[in-house]
């Protein structure tokens, strides 16, 4: 752990600097603590008022002491700075000056989620940072015992976000947001520590010093590339923290630092499995490699608040079949489609190999073209029509009880047909809308706001909505055709996604999704498959 603040009296408490305590007994000793004889530096008086009592921890940037402010008779945490010895004298002097300036700036921050900086004491030209002694333990320590629930992770994220907003407003970048720098204090207090201090080496490029401060797995891609960081860099780190809090590990952690930095630049993490809905949308958005495309603090706050306090169901009149979802509702990434089902769509690529069927230029004649097959799917209580050569897939044996979907994919991987149903009886979160049209408009709002992480769909794709579609015998339904180009900078593909919505009399929400290339020979075939699959979808009678 690293410790950037102070610790209380309980044995399991850590300091807000969260360094590895060299002496566990020191952290547990009752107050007042007598000077520990034999420990170098113990008993030293700093700036004429701060008596060093015990060494709490140390790290690459310094040593944290428990001390007593003899002027006001209170315990504080004091950080003795340490700059790498290999730096030239001029760079060392610049680093100390930068530390003094930024520590003073951090001392001006007045926010309950920010560790209080009381003083900057200059000793032999080096700034010693004097901070409050925070009672609690780090998030990093807590995560060693297990992961957090989505609501608790979102609550912590809101407090950290508020601390970052206060710092950014004061012109301060944190640059080392990670679980070890987040304290879980008494009375549900959340404290972010080390403001302004991590900036010391953060200003120095890799070529100058051979490294930078902070844990590589939490550092934003632009910092790895040596670009000038901004508030979006701190928000990236917050996204990694939220991912780690719910999944148990950073998505970019590798066996060594170079591999970790490479994964930060190039790896696309799997969508978080434990974080769903608005929390998942916040995490996915914050982990965008391009800082310009990450959601801002206001958007992240709205999503985290929605995760902490899910909105109550809206009145039925508001969600009429012919009306879009109201603009006052926070547009969250709803449980539209399971991750494995999205994978069935996301895995499709432009086909270059021969297929198992012959392309048909004209629209199909009759209810079911030659070569097609009907498949009754008990789990989704429907019969689905697809070309005979398509390969079937479904949730694995470890699926959740409320996952109901099936997918059929063309052998070439170019076209996928996925049918999902959300059961009203299992909808404890009240996510199912009151009509197919309302569900469609809500999804469309999500696409416009944030795209789709699983499909590499950027936000604001071109969509064609139809809230007055009909299912077979004229019952209300809805459709949406989403046209976009994948945001893969190395190999972007034009794509189309056609979605058919239908809400049964029992309140179950059915969604039939057909994904296919947006340009090329398979576009016409994909549109034909979509028309035929939708026209021949047959739901079981209740």
Which residues, 6+ apart, have CB-to-CB distance to 37 below 8 Å? 43
Question: Quick one: tokens of 187?
Answer: 């009375």
Which residues, 6+ apart, have CB-to-CB distance to 444 below 8 Å? 324, 463, 465, 480
DSSP string, 60-93: TTEEEEEEEETTTTEEEEEEEE---TTS-HHHHH
- In the sheet that holds 45-46, the strands lie side by side as 45-46, 50-59, 62-69, 74-81, 126-132, 117-123
* Cis bond upstream, residue 542 (ω within 30): no
* Cis bond upstream, residue 354 (ω within 30): no
Number of alpha carbons in the 13 Å side-chain half-sphere of residue 6: 26
Alpha carbons 216 and 313: distance in angstroms, whole number: 42
Q: Measuring CA to CA, which residue among 202, 53, 194 is closest to residue 129? A: 194
Specify burial of residue 273 (Cβ count, 10 A radius: 0-12, 13-18, 19+): exposed
Specify burial of residue 66 (Cβ count, 10 A radius: 0-12, 13-18, 19+): buried
Count, residues in the chain: 542
Number of alpha carbons in the 13 Å side-chain half-sphere of residue 439: 29
Contact 121, 130 (CB under 8 A): yes
Residue 108: how many other CB atoms lie within 10 Å: 9
Contact 44, 35 (CB under 8 A): no
- Residue 444 appears among annotated catalytic residues: no
Contact 179, 168 (CB under 8 A): no
Residue with tokens 């992480």: 453
Write phi, then psi, for 415 (nearest 5 degrees): -130, 135
Q: How far apart are the first and last CA of the chain?
A: 58
Which residues, 6+ apart, have CB-to-CB distance to 446 below 8 Å? 281, 331, 332, 333, 334, 336, 452
Q: Out of 176, 443, 446, 508, pick the active-site residue.
A: 176
Q: Measuring CA to CA, which residue among 289, 292, 293 is closest to residue 269? A: 289
* 79 belongs to an annotated ligand binding site: yes
Q: Helix, strand, coil shares of the chain as percentages rounded to 5?
A: 30, 25, 45
Identify the bridge partners of residue 62 per DSSP, sorted by sequence position: 59, 81
**R_g over Cα of the chain:** 28
Residues tagged in the binding site annotation for ATP: 79
What residues are labeled active site? Answer: 176
């Amino acid at each position: 752990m690293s410790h950037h603040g102070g610790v209380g009296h309980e044995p399991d408490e850590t300091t807000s600097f969260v360094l590895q305590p060299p002496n566990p007994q020191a952290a547990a000793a009752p107050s007042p603590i007598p000077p520990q004889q034999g420990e170098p530096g113990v008993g030293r008086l700093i700036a004429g008022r701060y008596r060093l009592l015990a060494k709490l921890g140390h790290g690459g940037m310094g040593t944290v002491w428990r001390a007593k402010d003899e002027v006001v008779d209170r315990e504080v945490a004091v950080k003795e700075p340490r700059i790498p010895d290999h730096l030239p004298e001029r760079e060392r002097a610049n680093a100390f000056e930068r530390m003094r300036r930024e520590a003073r700036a951090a001392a001006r921050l007045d926010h309950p989620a920010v560790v209080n900086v009381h003083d900057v004491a200059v000793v032999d030209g080096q700034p010693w940072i004097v901070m409050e002694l925070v009672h609690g333990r780090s998030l990093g320590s807590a995560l060693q015992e297990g992961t957090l629930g989505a609501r608790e992770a979102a609550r912590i994220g809101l407090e950290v976000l508020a601390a970052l907003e206060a710092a950014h407003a004061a012109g301060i970048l944190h640059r080392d947001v990670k679980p070890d720098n987040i304290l879980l204090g008494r009375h549900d207090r959340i404290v972010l520590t080390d403001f302004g201090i991590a900036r010391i080496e953060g200003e120095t490029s890799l070529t100058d010093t051979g490294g930078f401060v902070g844990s590589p797995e939490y550092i934003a891609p632009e910092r790895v590339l040596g670009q000038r960081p901004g508030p979006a860099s701190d928000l990236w780190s917050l996204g990694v923290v939220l991912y780690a809090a719910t999944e148990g590990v950073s998505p970019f952690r590798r066996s060594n630092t170079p591999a970790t930095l490479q994964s930060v630049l190039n790896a696309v993490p799997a969508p978080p499995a434990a974080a769903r809905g608005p929390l998942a949308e916040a995490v996915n958005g914050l982990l965008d490699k391009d800082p310009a495309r990450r959601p801002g603090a206001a958007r992240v706050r709205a999503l985290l608040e929605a995760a902490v306090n899910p909105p109550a169901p809206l009145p039925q009149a508001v969600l009429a079949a012919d009306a879009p979802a109201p603009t006052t509702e926070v547009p969250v990434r709803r449980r539209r489609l399971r991750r494995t089902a999205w994978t069935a769509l996301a895995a499709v690529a432009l086909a270059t190999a021969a297929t198992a069927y012959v392309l048909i230029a004209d629209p199909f004649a009759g209810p079911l073209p030659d070569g097609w097959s009907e498949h009754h799917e008990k789990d989704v209580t429907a019969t689905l029509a697809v070309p005979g050569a398509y390969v079937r897939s479904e949730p694995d044996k470890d699926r959740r009880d409320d996952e109901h979907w099936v997918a059929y994919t063309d052998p070439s991987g170019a076209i996928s047909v996925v049918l999902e149903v959300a059961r009203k009886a299992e909808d404890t979160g009240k996510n199912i809308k009151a009509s197919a049209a309302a569900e469609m408009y809500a999804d469309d709002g999500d696409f416009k706001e944030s795209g789709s992480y699983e499909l590499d769909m950027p936000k604001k794709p071109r969509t064609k909505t139809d809230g007055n579609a009909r299912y077979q015998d004229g019952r209300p339904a809805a459709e949406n055709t989403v046209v976009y180009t994948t945001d893969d900078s190395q190999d972007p593909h034009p794509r189309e996604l056609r979605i058919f919505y239908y809400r049964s009399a029992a309140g179950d929400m059915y969604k039939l999704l057909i994904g296919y290339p947006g340009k090329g020979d398979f576009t016409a075939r994909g549109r034909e498959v979509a028309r035929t699959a939708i026209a021949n979808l047959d739901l079981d009678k209740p």
